[in-house]
Structure 1
Amino acid sequence: MIITVTLNAAIDKSLSVPNFRLGRRHRTVEQRTAAGGKGVNIARALKTLGQPVIATGFAGGPTGTRIVDQLTEESILNDFVRIREESRTNTSVFDPTNGQQTEINERGPAVTDNEIQLFRDKLLYLARGADMVVIAGSLPRGVDPAIYASIIRELRKSAVLTLIDTDGEPLRHATRAEPDVISPNVLEAEELVGHEFNDDEDRLIAVGEMVEQGAREAIMTLEDGCVACLKVDGQLQRFRVSVPPREDVAGVGAGDAFLAGYVAARYSGKSPSDCLAYGVACGAESTNHLGAGIIEPGLVDRMLSQGEVDVRMLSAPAEVT
């Protein structure tokens, strides 16, 4: 069983608006509303990929009720802690004429110490039957940025594989807690290691630096794939995985789809290179859809069978050209 953790779950509105301009009135040509937050998006994709998954986290007020109801309608198993304050609503506007995307994310509810303890108890109970726990997304207001780190340490006692996808201080603390895998994007990784990257060589060095900071393995997602530092036969190896340029419908949630694909493949016992290839294919395919966590598994398999995903294992960053 795989558990996904979303402490700042949301209702996500995805709108397609041609020629979007600030200060003007527009009409959508396509729209979608769904339960969201990174962990929820990952759970949706894992369910589509046929993996056993339970989504948990916080859900509050009428919006929280909508989140739980929508997950139930999608047949995604869930067990959220109900909180007093209202869960957030996020809005994403995609302009199909130029490919630009604008996101407006609410900061989320405040959570009490008692509600946090209820969640900890629930997660540790669920983890008794789990093999992997994916912790993803931002924190609600007032929550200690070290909470993910403490959760990782508690889960390690149960020998559960932990994966983390967040940013800022929560990611910094979580990395020091030695999670099994961290998966930031480029901007999040730059903030974590403390400097900007100019090219693939810099990025390949950076995933090694993230491992030095505490993560057992590290993946950095890119627009065209990822770079990674993963264990192969007990030894850390660097990878560069890429796909050809694509004409996207929308890019929101591509990182969530990548991580879902990677987790699904790893849960199935695939090799590190196959896990990365499957994750990249899932992330690329998801950009054909408006809304996060939506994947067509058949098209993912087609991409892989047609050799659209290039995987290179590198003995050192200097091999990058």
Structure 2
Amino acid sequence: MLIATPNLCLDRTQFLTRIVPGAVMRAAHVEVTAGGKGVNIARVVRAFGGKAVLAGLVGQEDRERLVGLLAEEGADLREVSAPGPVRMAIVMIEQEPGRVTIVNEPGSPVAPEVWQRYADEIDRNLPGQDLLICSGSLPPGAPPDAYGQLVEAAHRAGALALVDTAPAALRAALASGPDLVAPNLQEAESALAGTSGAVLADADEDIPERAADAARALCAEGARAAAVTVGGDGIALARQGSAAVQWIRTVPVDVVSAVGAGDSFLAGVALSLQGQLPGPVDWRSAVLRGAATATASCENLRAGGVDPARVETLLARIEATAGQDRSVTGGGS
């Protein structure tokens, strides 16, 4: 599979006792790792012994550090040079309340010619690939329909295209008919409402119905299938041309960190699809594996860190409760 993750970053994870707004705090420990949603997906794929090619824009400031960290992980990177620094994501993990707070920088602006070089790199790497995953935010200056362009390139190459990105970029990609979009509920609702989603808060009311409405609406706007995730509650799965939306339950675990769970979900879906292609796509089976992979990732501190054996155990538990899955009509029906 080929993973388009243009807005690569460095994750700077700070471990604190507690965040006190307005105070001066000291971190007990700091870790710096390569970051970006596509990087997390590739970690999961490698954990299962699979192969994934990462294609990313790499700012020339801090280039050696980012490329070195990816090489240490064993990542297969197709690098496209870009001016400016590598963006930073600040991840603050509090010991006492067990909260995780994340501040994502936007990244350095890219000129049209830089984006075109990136799109050309995707085109060069698509032959022979059966999946393209478009993952993560777009850097400032990228075309609004940047991922839509890549979806169309994937289809020309005979590959499926999966998209998980910020609300504005997700909305712009829908017209190109991605084979699956996989936002969380807040991202889906922001995309459909045309809002930025710059600050995404948790939702806790009418979850299955709201997720069903969002999944159905995403398909009506052009997605061939939509999986709207709602943390530990479940996933609403909709398909274009069908009014039925399936609510798939997850199973409870002791959560260490939910950072990167959505990326692990999409990695699990992609790994399932690779076992099915060529042939008809069984989206439900793929989503079940995605749910198990995301759940396993929540038991680990590092984003994209999963134990394949644990995934299989959780998948068996989720499949055992599959009889409890139900169709959801949604509030708009």
Give the TM-score of the pair, scaled to structure 1: 0.90
| Contact 2:288–2:318 (CA under 8 A) maintained in structure 1 | no
Question: Is the 8 Å Cα contact of residues 303 and 309 (structure 1) preserved in structure 2?
Answer: no
State the 1:64 CA deviation: 2.9
- Residue 166 of structure 1 deviates from its aligned partner by 0.8
Question: How much has 1:236 moved relative to structure 2?
Answer: 7.2
Match of 1:240 in 2: 247
Q: Closer, same or farther in 2 for the Cα pair 1:306/1:313, shift >3 Å?
A: closer
1:15–1:28 Cα contact (<8 Å) kept: yes
The alpha-carbon deviation at position 179 of structure 1 amounts to 0.6
Residue 266 of structure 1: aligned partner: 273
Question: Aligned ranges for residues 1-321 of structure 1 at < 5 Å?
Answer: 2-22=1-21, 23-28=23-28, 31-194=30-193, 198-224=206-232, 225-230=234-239, 238-269=245-276, 271-307=282-318, 310-311=321-322, 314-315=326-327, 317=329
3-state SS of 1:189 partner: helix
Structure 1 residue 306: deviation in Å? Answer: 4.1
Aligned with 1:57: secondary structure? Answer: strand
Q: Alpha carbon RMSD of aligned pairs, Å?
A: 2.3
The secondary structure found in structure 1 opposite 2:84 is coil
Separation in structure 2 between the aligned mates of residue 238 and residue 98 of structure 1, nearest angstrom: 36
1:277 and 1:309 in contact (8 A); partners too: no
69-78 or 178-187, which deviates more: 69-78
How far apart in 1 are the matches of 2:192 and 2:89? 29
Q: CA–CA distance in 1 between the matches of 2:5 and 2:146?
A: 12
Q: Relative to structure 2, which stretch is displaced further, 95-104 or 218-227?
A: 95-104
The aligned amino acid for 1:289 is: N
Q: 1:171-191 CA deviation, whole Å, 9 max, x = no partner?
A: 111011111010111111111
Shift of 1:155: 2.1
SS class of match (1:129):
coil
- 1:19: Cα distance to partner? 2.3
Q: Kindly provide the CA deviation profile for residues 147-201 of structure 1, in whole angstroms up to 9, marking residues without a partner as x.
A: 1112212221111100110122211110111110101111111112339973312
Write the deviation string for residues 185-244 of structure 1: whole angstroms up to 9, x where unpaired.
Answer: 11111112339973312321321111010000001111113111147xx96753222223
Instruction: Give the secondary-structure state (helix, strand or coil) at the position aligned to 2:41.
Output: helix
**C-alpha contact (below 8 Å) 1:242/1:309 kept by paired residues:** no
Secondary structure of 2:40's aligned partner: helix
Give the match's secondary structure for 1:284: helix
- CA displacement at 1:33 relative to structure 2: 2.2
Query: 266-275 or 190-199: which moved more?
Result: 190-199
Q: Which runs of 5+ in 2 are unaligned?
A: 195-202
TM-score by length of 2: 0.87
Deviation at residue 307 of structure 1 after TM alignment: 4.7
Letter in 2 for 1:33: V
Q: Distance in 2 between matches of 1:41 and 1:288?
A: 15
Distance in structure 2 (CA, Å) of the matches to 1:273 and 1:134: 18
- Superposed displacement of residue 16, structure 1: 2.8
CA positional deviation for 1:7? 1.1
Is the Cα contact below 8 Å between 1:59 and 1:65 reproduced in 2? no
Cα deviation code 1:30-50 (max 9, x no counterpart): x43211111111111111122
Query: Is the 8 Å Cα contact of residues 247 and 327 (structure 2) preserved in structure 1?
Result: no
Which 5+ residue runs of structure 1 have no aligned equivalent? none
Partners of 2:318 and 2:119 in 1: CA distance? 43
Aligned partners of 2:309 and 2:32: how far apart in 1? Answer: 24
Q: Please, which moves more after superposition, 301-310 or 285-294?
A: 301-310
Residues 269-278 or 309-318, more deviating: 309-318
Counterpart Cα distance in 2 of 1:27 and 1:213: 45
Contact 2:292 2:318 in 1 (8 A): no
One-letter code aligned to 2:135: A
The verdict on how the C-alpha distance between 1:284 and 1:249 changes in structure 2, with shifts beyond 3 A counting, is: same
Q: How far apart, CA to CA, are the structure 2 residues paired with 1:261 and 1:309?
A: 18
In the TM superposition, what is the alpha-carbon distance from 1:305 to its structure 2 partner?
A: 3.0
Closer, same or farther: CA 243–16 of 1 in aligned 2, 3 Å = farther
Shift of 1:61: 1.9
The Cα offsets for residues 250-293 of structure 1, whole Å up to 9 and x where unpaired, read as 11111111111111111112843321121111111111222211
